[in-house]
Structure 1
Amino acid sequence: MRNINIRSVDLNLLVAFDALYKERSVTRAASRIALTQPTVSGMLKRLRDTFDDDLFVRTSHGIVPTPRADAIAPRVADLLDDIGLLLSPDDFDPASSAFTVRVCGSDYLLHTILDTFAESVLQTAPRARVSVLPRPAEGIARQLESGEIDLILSDRELTVPDLPARFLYRDDFVCLSSYADIADGDDISLDRFCEREHGFVDPTGGSFHGPIDDALEAVGRKRNMVLAVPGFAMLLQLMKSRPMLAFVPVRIAAAFDHGFSRVRTPLDLPHLEIVASWHPRMTRDPKHKWLRETLVSIANA
């Protein structure tokens, strides 16, 4: 028997062989695989050349397989089944699957969606593990590609170019005050606003400039920034012992029992658009799709 180079074999020929073997008729085989009879006849000729055997012999009752066809038919059927499974999407059952999901985001996201996301994943998938990581300073695309990170959540302005992204929700800013002489709902003038002390959240704790300062610069003003901390919990705790103003996202203000006044300012405030990003290779992965849909469901709750 001569050797066959697999690279030279059209796997569609095996589909035709399987149909011919099961139907014992070129006409019925052609109908089974939605091809014309001349096309299947041509494929049978190529099958005979490939296997160096007649494979099927015409009779008055249709075609009859040769011993060679009988020998390879079960293996061809098994091979086609395996290929079908290979090409079919994997089923993903979170309730029975063991996996680890690694998601990263800022301190803000820890308090607004990542905590609920982790709880939801662990409740629905009891064999799962959730790792919540801080946003890396660099190399995000590489870590997503290598699987070190599955998802990254961020403001749209901080997303990595060319990565798929899914919008989750929008959040606005509110100004909180721990000054005793500023009541809840007070309108505060720009002069008064700028002379008071301000606190600010920056993940590095080293910056005293943010989106609010950009809005102030647009009108030629600057606020009296005295405190920069890496997290909102720390900021709100320090505001209890020292009078300050601070802009925080609305969801942060709702997440903490702070008791501070909400102040109206004359500023045109920016807003946040939170998105989830991932590597393109994971777009069609069933587990990853489930994780993204879980995020969207929580964001819209």
Structure 2
Amino acid sequence: MKSIVYMASIEMTDIDAVWLRRLDLNNMVALHTLLSTRSVSQSARLLCLGQPAVSHLLKQLREQLQDALLYRHGQRMMPTPFAEALLPELEAWLGAGERLFRQRPVDLETVERTVRLALPDALEAALLPGLLGACRERAPGLSVDVAALSAAQALAALESAQIDYAVGYFPFPTPRLERQTLLRSGFACLYHREQLQLPAVVGAEEVAAWPHVYTSYIGEALSLIDHYLQLRGLQRRVLARAASLLAIPPILAAVPAVAVLPSVVCAIVGRHQAGMARAQIDEPSLRIDVELLWHPRVNDDPVHQFVRTELAGLCAGGRIAPDGAEGEDMA
């Protein structure tokens, strides 16, 4: 007599993959139906198959499992002891498989999860309040974990699933990642009105005329500015290199200098210091795309679809950094 022993946990080395490959999952569904109904004709109707096809399946299963499974007893079919013991385990196994592979609806109001983003500090200040507000209203169990990473670090973190999203300037191909443009920004000179008086729009000569405060936030975008000046036979003098954008407004308030930043960043940074103003650089080709990058593995996840929609909405129509009037007090 055959017996079935249920193991609470199975090591991978205990699985006979070669033997299991001979078992078709469809045949397991048919076996469950046969053992439940104890009828070939009823099983054929439930499985939407012809009766000869179900009889053939039963013959195959008998050969594979080396057991009669069902035998005729008068007008009925009865399970063998092996089949009788197999049925509840088979039912549990198929139920577990269905729960494992069937997409379950996600309720944003009850989901508890952490979304991990790489954001530059200026965009963090601009995007995070709105994103958290949307989470509070629609997904109160969702928390956000923000990391400050360079573009290269962010790409590596996306590939290794250490973060879910990266927002910034990525001027290189990313064939294994999805990307969406959140906004397009020109460049402007940020300055303090008590130190400098600049026109609303400036050209290359004005950009190069004053000392510059440089920040590593710009990253790859820095080369765009230098290239723009070099094409015109100009070069800028860097007065200071700041590690953080937060240091720039106090520096500009103290010395006559400019910080060339994406216009959207100027608008965000300039809000927090009285007297800050910006002069737009007159060069239509001097533009960068601020993009959202993510791995395709989260494409169809409803929580991530919600996050992407909210981030795109926050950037739409200049909501995070209204244009305002150049040369005017930004605070």
TM range (shorter): 0.7 to 0.9
- Measured after TM superposition, the shift of residue 215 of structure 1 is 1.6
* Helix, strand or coil at the partner of 2:312: helix
Distance 2:147 2:188 in 1: 27
Distance 1:190 1:278 in 2: 36
TM-superposition CA deviations, 1:189-237 (whole Å, max 9, x none): 54343222333322399x9944222222223322343233233332123
Structure 1 position 299 matched with structure 2 position 315: yes
* Helix, strand or coil at the partner of 2:250: helix
TM-superposition CA deviations, 1:120-166 (whole Å, max 9, x none): 44665444443211105765555445543232222131675523334
Find the counterpart in structure 1 of residue 97 from structure 2: 83
Which of 180, 184, 187 aligns to 1:170? It is 184
**Which residue identity does 1:230 align to in structure 2?**
A
Distance 2:281 2:181 in 1: 28
Unaligned runs of 5+ in 1: none
Distance 2:307 2:173 in 1: 19
Give 1:134-173 correspondences, 5 Å limit. 134-136=148-150, 140=154, 143-157=157-171, 162-173=176-187
Alignment check: 8 A CA contact 1:104 1:151 kept: yes
Find the counterpart in structure 2 of residue 227 from structure 1: 240
Give 1:1-301 correspondences, 5 Å limit. 1=1, 5-22=19-36, 26=40, 29-57=43-71, 64-68=77-81, 69-121=83-135, 124-136=138-150, 140=154, 143-157=157-171, 162-179=176-193, 182=197, 185=200, 187-203=201-217, 209-255=222-268, 256-257=270-271, 258=273, 259-285=275-301, 287-300=303-316
- Measured after TM superposition, the shift of residue 15 of structure 1 is 0.8
Distance 2:218 2:208 in 1: 24
- Measured after TM superposition, the shift of residue 83 of structure 1 is 0.6
Q: Which moved more, 1:223-232 or 1:173-182?
A: 173-182
CA 1:182–1:145 in 2, change beyond 3 Å: closer, same or farther?
closer
CA 1:183–1:236 in 2, change beyond 3 Å: closer, same or farther?
same
* Helix, strand or coil at the partner of 1:132: strand
- Measured after TM superposition, the shift of residue 44 of structure 1 is 1.4
Alignment check: 8 A CA contact 1:179 1:243 kept: no
Length, aligned pairs only? 298
CA 1:195–1:274 in 2, change beyond 3 Å: closer, same or farther?
closer
* Helix, strand or coil at the partner of 1:253: helix
CA 1:296–1:193 in 2, change beyond 3 Å: closer, same or farther?
closer
- Measured after TM superposition, the shift of residue 103 of structure 1 is 1.7
CA 1:26–1:290 in 2, change beyond 3 Å: closer, same or farther?
farther
Alignment check: 8 A CA contact 1:90 1:286 kept: no
Distance 1:79 1:162 in 2: 35
Distance 1:128 1:268 in 2: 40
Distance 1:208 1:128 in 2: 33
- Measured after TM superposition, the shift of residue 31 of structure 1 is 4.8
* Helix, strand or coil at the partner of 2:68: coil
CA 1:188–1:154 in 2, change beyond 3 Å: closer, same or farther?
closer
TM-superposition CA deviations, 1:148-188 (whole Å, max 9, x none): 32322221316755233343333333333435663553x44
**Which residue identity does 2:256 align to in structure 1?**
P
Identity rate of aligned residues, in percent?
A: 25
- Measured after TM superposition, the shift of residue 283 of structure 1 is 4.3
CA RMSD, Structure 1 to Structure 2 (Å): 3.8
**Which residue identity does 1:44 align to in structure 2?**
L
Alignment check: 8 A CA contact 1:204 1:229 kept: no
